[in-house]
Amino acid sequence: MISRSSRLLHAALVVVCGAGIVYAPVQAQTSLTVPLGQSGYFGRISIGNLAPPPVLGYGPVIARPPLGSDRWGQSAIAPIYLRVPPQQARDWGRYCGLYQACTVPVLFVQDAWYRDTYAPRVRAAQARQARQLRRAEEARDRWRASRQAGKRLVTPDGRVYVLDKRRDRDDDDD
């Protein structure tokens, strides 16, 4: 005979496992993507040909020295620029895995520079690329319409008739 405490333990175990099965898919679907240039973006920043940005601290931070470094921990790898929340910058060894930058020298950019200098330039470049793409699509659509112009007839009431220019067809049944 099963004791009362064993039945309660079994019931609790079933409830916990069931909650885990229900919670796992819900947890997997909760993600948010913030594009580069927006205020909530944290991650790697490519400065391109901009002047080096003001950084937090005095020099690059390395959480774990890479395998190819010399005995003083110096590396030939160029530092990367990251924008991270202040708490993560203070405890970088704990959070470096989120950015895949544990063995890379990291410089943390200041939020004011990101907000006032970098983000407006990125948004302007993204808008410029979107305009160029839209213009290319419009040009392609105009070209396609010009190729089809001789094959369609549109009546004033909006009906479209397709004209076939090929005369070598014999559609008669005789």
Residue 32 domain flag = no
Report yes or no on 146 lying in a domain: yes
By the 8 A CB rule, do 152 and 162 touch? yes
Please indicate, yes or no, whether residues 49 and 91 belong to a single structural domain of this protein. Answer: yes
pLDDT at 140: 86
Same domain, 101 and 121: no
Q: Is residue 26 part of a domain?
A: no
Of 173 and 79, the structure prediction assigns the larger pLDDT to 79
The average pLDDT across 8-27 equals: 56
Kindly report the pTM of this predicted structure: 0.55
* Residue 106 and residue 124 in one domain: no
Name the residue range of residue 151's domain. 116-160
Tell me how far CA of residue 18 lies from CA of 13, 14, 25, in angstroms.
Answer: 8, 6, 12
What's the CA gap between 14 and 7, in Å, rounded? 11
**Helical residues (DSSP H) of 29-161, grouped into ranges:** 86-90, 92-95, 111-113, 119-148
99-134 CB burial, b ≥16 within 10 A, e <16: bebbbbbbbbbeeebbeebbbeebeeeeeeeeeeee
pLDDT tens per residue, range 111-150? 999 999 888 998 999 999 999 999 999 888 877 776 666 6
> How far apart, in whole angstroms, are the C-alpha atoms of residue 44 and residue 109?
10
